[in-house]
Structure 1
Amino acid sequence: MARTIVITGASDGIGAAAARQLAAKGERVVVVGHSPEKTAAVARALNAPHHVADYADLAQVRRLAAELLAAYPRIDVLANNAGGIFKTELTGDGFDRMIQVNHLAPFLLTHLLLGRLMESRAAVIQTSSIGAKMMGKLDINTFDGRTSRSFFMTYGDTKLMNQLFTAELHRRHHAQGLNAVSFHPGNIASSFPNRSYALLRLLMNSPVKHLLETSEDGGVRLAWLAEGRPGTTWQPGKYYENNEIPPDRKINAQAKDASLAAELWTRSERLLGLASAR
């Protein structure tokens, strides 16, 4: 029986690649993206349902959650794959755009779907990055959804948040049947930076692009987690690189801080106006 796999950020890049790969194996893929045209095109090619939401607008995230709850009695996998590198600017919700799109919006979506996910004994997958180790540094005492760091460092911060969110989601809800995991998709040549700084766009379209992996490669890693069996194929609550748990020296020390993960959860709830769900 086909499972229902919701993939955000699936209008392009590794999300679209994973959607194609999983649909080819008979899974029921739900395509979620921010571009109406591109999202519809990916879904049409797969004969799959689709939904559109711009994560820079939290009202659209709430609408997306309502649509998913109304349309799918089961959600077997939620892949929080949407994200990007953006200019340092505030959204209409008052948060740094990168922090909102990469952390607060997927946190909100997961929170709003939590009951359905637990009923379905679902897997929740977060697309993180080795950028968490290279650049991530979170001062929880000043965390307010904004940033005073460069856009590159803020990207690393958000990828660290993805790992902390995974660990705390596992701690809080694994006993209710939820399985959470985060992963680095690889050093991918994709359109991912095209909405950000000109220097990154130039780099990604230079000869260095040929040294990078493809979106299909990244899609394979996402699909491996989505179709795998938690506790057998992969260990819940962990972070993966190339389908393996990396050694401790390759993981940001803050990502292993349970108290930091708990406090990030609490502060994220507060910023989003959510009631605590333990």
Structure 2
Amino acid sequence: MARTIVITGASDGIGAAAAKMLAYPGDRLVVVGRSPQKTRAIAEELEADSFITDFTDLSQVRELAAGLAEKYPRIDVLANNAGGIMAGRELTVDGHEKTFQVNHLAPFLLTTLLIEGLVASRATVINTSSRANRFMARFDIDDLDAAKKYSANTAYGNAKLCNILFTRELQRRYGDHGISAAAFHPGVVASGFSAESNPINKLAYGTLARRFMLSPAQGADTLVWLATSVPGGDWTPGEYYAKRKVAKANPLAYRPELAESLWEQSAAMVAV
């Protein structure tokens, strides 16, 4: 049966690589990106549908969800892949810290707005996290917008921990209704995810350092595996993966009450 696969952050890096690897004849591929030029180029190359959405604006995320729900009766795979490391603390038009919104709040909103269709489709939801959840996070559930203390790397680590907490709570709430959710670490990939970051991170992920990094296709491997294999058979829903195996996350990722609190606060922030 033909499937519909939606990938956000698909105009570059891991998302673009995954899109190319998932462009199977007969399936419907939908690529979502911020850059009109890059997103449309990928879509044309793969004969895929495309949507232009900037996750720093939640009104655009709502428009995306409405457009997807209207156009596709079923969505079999939703890959929440958009994200990145930002530079200084900056608030979006919605009043939230940019790293938190782009990496967690926007994909949370998109997923929850599509939840009825995802449940009906018995969909797989894949969230791109990072091992930064273990080494960079200094998580404070009472300061999600990092108003008290901010650093670019900490904000990114916190957001990547949010991806895992969201995955686990999504599975708890909707696993019995048909959803299969997973988070994964792609590895240290040579991509443009640090384009808006500070000079130190740009240097760390720059041209010379890229010699020692994974290619976007290598980074996309676990995403593609999760999207094409059998949840409950090949992999366990609700878990965090690296290199196709369950990986160890931040100890906070295994606190159900924290995952539930993050969900409730996120829902209040986006008025779901």
With the length of structure 1 as denominator, give the TM-score of the two structures.
Answer: 0.94
Native 8 Å contact 2:146 2:155 kept in 1: no
Map Cα deviations across residues 28-71 of structure 1 (whole Å, 9 max, x no partner).
21100011110000000000100010000000000000100011
The answer for the alignment partner of 2:6 in structure 1 is: 6
Q: What amino acid is aligned across from residue 81 of structure 2 in structure 1?
A: N
CA shift, 1:143, in A, is 3.2
Q: C-alpha distance in 1, partners of 2:90/2:127?
A: 24
- Quick one: structure 1 residues 57 and 195, their matched pair in 2 at CA, closer, same or farther if it must change by over 3 Å? same
Q: CA deviation digits over 1:155-183, x for unaligned, max 9?
A: 00000000000000000000100111000
Q: How does 1:198-237 map to 2 (within 5 A)?
A: 198-237=199-238
Specify the SS of the correspondent of 1:195: coil
Equivalent residues, number: 271
Matched residue, 1:41: 41
Q: Which runs of 5+ in 2 are unaligned?
A: none
2:252 is aligned to: 254
Alignment of 1:98 with 2:99, yes or no, is: yes
Task: Tell me how far 1:204 sits from its aligned partner.
Answer: 2.0
User: Runs in 1 of length 4+ with deviation above 6 angstroms?
Assistant: none
Counting only pairs closer than 5 Å after superposition, residues 171-186 of structure 1 correspond to structure 2 as: 171-186=172-187
- Equivalent residues of 1:145, 1:271 under 8 A apart: no
Whole-Å separation in 2 of the counterparts to 1:109 and 1:165: 13
The Cα of 1:220 is off from its aligned counterpart by: 1.8
Specify whether residues 127 and 146 from structure 1 end up closer, same or farther in structure 2 by C-alpha distance, changes over 3 A only: farther
> What are the ranges of 5 or more consecutive residues in structure 1 without an aligned counterpart?
none
Aligned counterpart, 1:137: 138
Q: CA RMSD in A?
A: 1.3
Segment drifting more, 155-164 vs 225-234: 225-234
Alpha carbons of structure 1 residues 272 and 145: separation in structure 2 relative to 1, 3 Å: farther
Residue of structure 2 equivalent to 1:271: 269
Which residue of 1 is the match for residue 27 of structure 2?
Answer: 27
Alignment of 1:158 with 2:156, yes or no, is: no
One-letter code aligned to 2:138: K
Instruction: Give 1:26 shift.
Output: 5.0
Partner of 1:71: 71
Aligned to 2:149: 148
Whole-angstrom distance in 2 between the partners of 1:9 and 1:141: 28
User: After the TM superposition, which of the residue ranges 130-139 and 8-17 deviates more from structure 2?
Assistant: 130-139
Q: Name 2:194's counterpart in structure 1.
A: 193
* Kept after mapping to 1: 8 A contact 2:152/2:197: no
After the TM superposition, which residues 116-135 of structure 1 pair with which residues of structure 2 at under 5 Å, given as runs? 116-135=117-136
Distance in 1 separating the partners of 2:151 and 2:252: 19
Aligned residue for 1:192, secondary structure, equals coil
**Which has the larger displacement, 110-119 or 192-201?**
192-201
Q: Which amino acid aligns with 1:269?
A: A
CA contact (8 A) 1:95 1:146 kept: no
Partner of 1:109: 110
